[in-house]
Structure 1
Amino acid sequence: MVAGIELGGTKSICVLGTGPDDIRAEARIATTDPVTTLDAVDEVMRRWHDKHSFKAVGVASFGPLQLDPASPDY
Structure 2
Amino acid sequence: MLANAGGAELHLAARAYTAYCGTTGGRSAVTGAQLPAFEACPPLVRAAWLASVRAVSEFLTPPTSTPTREPQPGV
**TM-score normalised per structure 1:** 0.36
Give the number of the structure whose residues are more often strand, by fraction.
1
**TM-score normalised per structure 2:** 0.36
Give the number of the structure whose residues are more often helix, by fraction.
2
Structure of greater Rg = 2
